[in-house]
Amino acid sequence: MSDQSSSKIISETISNTSNESGNNFGFIESVTDINNRKDNLIKTESNIEEETSTFKRNDEWFWDTNSEQIFAQDSKTIIAVGHASVKSIVPLELLRHIYLPQKPHDRIFDPTTRTISYLQPRSYLPVNSLIQGEKKRILVTGGAGFVGSHLVDRLMLIGHEVIVLDNFFTGRKNNLAHWIGHPNFELIRHDVVDPFLIEVDQIYHLACPASPPHYQYNPIKTVKTSVMGTINMLGLAKRVKARFLLTSTSEVYGDPEEHPQAETYWGHVNPIGPRACYDEGKRVAETLTYAYMHQDSVDVRVARIFNTFGPRMNENDGRVVSNFIMQALKGEELTIYGDGLQTRSFQYVHDLVDGLILLMNKDYMEPINLGNPDEYTIREFAELIRNEVNSSSKIKTLPAPTDDPKKRRPDILRAEQILGWKPRWPVKQGIGETVKYFKRQMEAGLIG
């Protein structure tokens, strides 16, 4: 299709939609922006031929007015993520360019000598140029981790100034290597257990190991991170009048006796079990957050995050998604803990990032669940991953971990009603993307 007819489709979509709803200008700008961004990207990266060939100038899309999503013409393939109301719409190709590059942008790996050469000078992906007042200074603690780094990508592309604090216990500099040196970006090695002072407008407080083997590795440190880290960041928010968002967890519901779990449920947690350092740590973090809200009028948000997966999970993370994918890719046995009848509901990381940005920008202070209610037994999930990887790996049963929750599924009515958010990524599609990521990492010699 020619450029002309492609823009005709877009302009027709735009005019139809604005007639229907009256006010969709933010969204329209974002849709139009997709083409501009791709063009900019092509210009910026014109020296990398293989890369540019994946970007088609004449892409067609359509905007599904019901779900407010942009799909390819097949009406199934998601080609953009984000929400118009907070201007977070980003073409998926742009994000893929970061975590799934045909070739790394800034380094060459020589498999013979197993050395890496870093290239200079470097270019960056185009970020929005925000006007004064729109552009915020945003602190992301734990920003080099799996979820944190995806959040940073989105905040950077939106055009904000982003400062990341990370102690690199589970986070990796490599997750943010593509932003290092950018004028809008700062990466600081710092442990949130120690106070930190800076002038910012918003704080996304993610810092804390989240995978059971990691948070149980040093339980005292996990409690300190949750409690002292949160006190330090709330103290900072109070001092500089920043808005504060705590990333809490579905683990505050413990081994739930209510199913699905709504935000009103108080939970069922063993306070002295091996998971308590994380579960109780996050429960205290929530208590602190609301104490600062009531006592010191800090402007707070609390997201309760359910099982999340995607590119940049650590391959040794120990959580079920990365374990199963790596085992299937290497032809090893898939390790099911217990009878495999316990359930989890898995959300793809782009959906979570959408939810976090929407919540931060909404005037709502109660906790909100962010998760995908699509529930699987772990046994079904192992099957799904074997199929996606096309692997003939066998299944091995290992003892169930102490206090492993037997079922978990979010009630997301509140997120739907308050934020206009619900997961957009079918689990299979997200798994496909994650498998591609792990394969690429293996080919690049970054993981074994």
Rounded least distance, CB 90 to ligand UGA, Å: 22
Rounded least distance, CB 27 to ligand UGA, Å: 30
Rounded least distance, CB 328 to ligand UGA, Å: 11
Residue (157 or 431) nearer to ligand UGA, CB: 431
Residue (179 or 381) nearer to ligand UGA, CB: 381
Tokens of 274: 């091996």
Catalytic residue among 99, 215, 253, 278: 278
Contact 278, 215 (CB under 8 A): yes
Q: Which residues bind ligand UGA (CB under 6 A)?
A: 210-212, 249-251, 278, 305, 307-308, 319-320, 323, 335-337, 342, 344, 378, 401, 404
CA distances from 355 to 80, 105, 236, 409 (A): 15, 29, 24, 17
Residue (92 or 277) nearer to ligand UGA, CB: 277
CA distances from 190 to 171, 196, 326, 423 (A): 12, 8, 31, 33
Rounded least distance, CB 265 to ligand UGA, Å: 16
Residue (242 or 368) nearer to ligand UGA, CB: 368
Tokens of 352: 């979570």
Residue 278 falls in the annotated catalytic set: yes
Buried b (16+ CB within 10 A) or exposed e, 293-317: beeeebbbbbbbbbbbbbbbbbbeb
Q: What angle do CA 384, 321, 86 make, to 5 degrees?
A: 105
Tokens of 136: 């915020």
Residue (35 or 308) nearer to ligand UGA, CB: 308
Question: What is the distance between the alpha carbons of residues 106 and 116, in angstroms, rounded to a whole number?
Answer: 10
Rounded least distance, CB 278 to ligand UGA, Å: 6
DSSP string across 155-169: HHHHT-EEEEEE--S
Question: Among all residues, which ones are annotated catalytic?
Answer: 278
